[in-house]
Amino acid sequence: MPGQRADVKELKARLDMISIISRYVTLVKSGTGYKAKCPFHKDDTPSMTVSAEKGLWHCFGCGEGGDVIGFVMKIERLSFIEVVRRLAEEVGLSFEAADDGARDELKSLMADVANAFARNLRSDAGEKARDYLISRGYPESCWLKYGLGYAMPGWDHIKRTFSRRGEDVLLKLGLLVQGDKGTYDRFRDRTIFPILDLSGRPVGFGGRTFDGDPKYLNSPQTPLFDKGRLMYGISWARDRMSETRAAVLVEGYTDVLSLHQAGITHAVGSMGTSLTQGQADLLKRFVEDVVICYDQDAAGSAASLRGMQILYNSGLGVRVAQLPAGEDPDGYVRTHGAEAMQAILDEALPFHRFFIESLKARHDVTTIRGKEHLLEDAREFYGSVRSAALREEIDRQIADLIGLSVESVRRELPRRPRARDPEEPIHEPAMHWGVEEHLLALVLRGQISWEKIAFEVSADDFSEANRPIARRLASGMTDLSELIGDLDEEGARRASYYALAPLEIDVDQTIEDAKRWMGQLPAIEKRLKELDPMIKRSATAEDWELWDRLAREKAELRIAWRRAKDATGEGIHEQQSQEGRSEIEAS
């Protein structure tokens, strides 16, 4: 019996979240919500919180979280559209994209839009996009091969061109954005990189701006596109991956294209460093080994390390290629050639050895304080490794590095967190609680409105990890279910955590701290990114006076960055400690 058509927002409003999650875990009433043992990791005490009121769940043990659709996707290992189809049927709705004919129509529209972007690239208006592509080593011969295009600078080019297909459909596919005064094109004045599914059909787009932020803009989650379950370039790389049983995993669109241009055709892009379980499952269909090749800073980030663990825990061999400071795969292969790039890939370290080397680089192990900080830094990574043999190897290498016995290191790096009082709030070690996290938590919980802080703090002042959440709040998106559905897997995990974690802070003080510190961070981070290539060039030129001056500037900026990130977090920590409240992890 056919039901009425519905969008995802309506579907989630109809679903009984508690009933659905109860099919998989035993929920126990706790305050206004529920708790359960998490099904996504070995959980001895209930660490998963479910809030029907907010339409969210989050595990404070392993960090997974999101909405009810995300829960079923993860536990059943199904795609977004498969889960929507199943749940819609349960409540008597028929989701439009679940119908094969309608899905084909959506794919046809995306193909037409991709063709329009391709025509724009060859038009007079596309000259600067053509110049950009040629300057990056992508001649006209590869534009068609990779489907490259250009989005016109106006606010309604796509809206006008495809108006006959229906504004609601364009919104559904993420081609339009709903604003206060109506809808407008999502992609404007950007070089366009179509994101293709396994069969090579466009399901989403990435757009690179010529100046300003965000530098890259992706399609949101749609009935066709789920960033957390797709890799950029997968349709071009799948044959070579199947043949070699290996993949080279890079971060961005241009990294993939430059490696393919150089003949390294088993390269795919994670579209950011926050690799998801869905992407790991996709890779496992084709390969047994993965070489991660991010730039130096990205490779050592918490998000990247978490991705390495996901890949390893999924049964894949994981190694990490080490590029020189200031280099990324795109720039390195274009400058040094395919042979040099292949040498870097061949020398990739097993991921746990890379982690040990990164610890060594970050901490002064000649001091007691440095050893303590190293062990603190290692604890979260170690605790998420499932292999007993690998944990033994990490114990031994860290012991050798800091001059302690293996037994001492093992005591400092427990497999699971310490025992705690059931009423004690948990603050997830992987999540840093600083002023921006507190701001997001307050807005997500409805304790303050975005308008209250908008005159002092913009969405672009937030760190890269938190910026997607901030931008949606700044756009007026206040419905938590809608906001979660518009984020990728990592964003949903963060948003559910901020919305559900126990938290007691002084609202006015948090806003004052934001005014004081957050505006400094973007300028510091921009200058730090500029300094690495400058330091490298000065060393190549053997200008040691300049090298010394730049290195000292970088060291001072790192101190300023850490102060800006952590000082307010430490202040809140002191405030809460004095009041007998929970400890907040300092990053």
Domain-embedded: residue 92:
yes
Closest CA to 8 of 69, 90, 72: 69
The tokens describing 151, both together, are: 């989005």
What is the percent of the chain with per-residue pLDDT over 70, rounded to a whole number?
A: 88
Residue 237 located in a structural domain: yes
Total domains in the chain come to 4
Task: Assess if residue 587 is contained within a domain.
Answer: no
Is there a single domain that holds both residue 93 and residue 105?
Answer: no
Same domain for 350 and 285, yes or no, is yes
Q: Domain for residue 396, yes or no?
A: no
What whole-number percentage of the chain has pLDDT above 90? 39
> Are residues 273 and 315 both part of a single domain?
yes
CATH of residue 269: 3.40.1360.10
Its pTM stands at 0.59
What is the pLDDT at residue 419?
Answer: 34
Give domain status of residue 531, yes or no: yes
Most confident of 99-103, 228-232, 436-440, 510-514: 228-232
Q: Among the three residues 44, 77, 98, which one is the final residue of a domain in this structure?
A: 98
Region of poorest pLDDT, from 149-158, 298-307, 510-519: 510-519
474 and 567 share a domain? yes
With respect to residue 465, please indicate whether it lies within any of the assigned structural domains.
yes
Query: Where a domain ends, among 48, 78, 98?
Result: 98
- Confidence at residue 45, expressed as pLDDT on a 0 to 100 scale: 85
Tokens of 376: 């603190």
What pLDDT band is residue 138 in, cutting at 50, 70 and 90?
A: very high
Whether residue 120 has pLDDT greater than 90 = yes
Residues present in the chain in total:
587
Does one domain contain both 454 and 574? yes
| 14 and 52 inside one domain | yes
Residue 530 lies in a domain: yes
CA distance 502 to 469: 19
Assess whether 176 and 288 both reside in one domain.
no
Domain's final residue, options 98, 113, 144: 98
Do 52 and 109 have their domain in common?
no
Q: Is residue 382 part of a domain?
A: no
Q: How far apart are CA 44 and CA 57, in angstroms?
A: 18
Domain co-membership, 247 together with 145: no
Sign of CA dihedral 226, 214, 517, 326: positive
Q: What CATH number should be reported for the domain holding residue 207?
A: 3.90.980.10
The residue segments making up the domain with residue 138 are: 100-225
- Written as six digits, the tokens of 234 are 């997968």
Question: Strands, DSSP E only, in 96-189?
Answer: 149-151, 176-179, 182-185
Amino acid symbol at 460 = D
Tokens 């404070």 correspond to 60
The verdict on 483 and 556 lying in the same domain is yes
Residue 445 CB contacts under 8 Å (≥ 6 apart), including other chains: 499
In the chain, the N- to C-terminal Cα span, in Å, equals: 54
What's the confidence (pLDDT) of residue 519? 60
The CATH number covering residue 86 comes to 3.90.580.10
Sign of CA dihedral 64, 69, 73, 76: positive
Tokens matching residue 31: 């305050």
Contacts for 535 with CB less than 8 Å, ≥ 6 apart: 325, 326, 547, 550, 551, 554
Cα 451 to Cα 278, 353, 518, distances in angstroms: 36, 47, 17
Coil, strand or helix at 476: coil
Residues 500 and 552 in one domain: yes
Would the pLDDT of 13 be above 90?
no
Q: What is the mean pLDDT of the chain?
A: 83
Q: Does residue 490 surpass a pLDDT of 80?
A: no
The token pair at 361 is 């680089």
Tokens representing 70? 């995300």
Whether 570 and 441 share a structural domain = yes
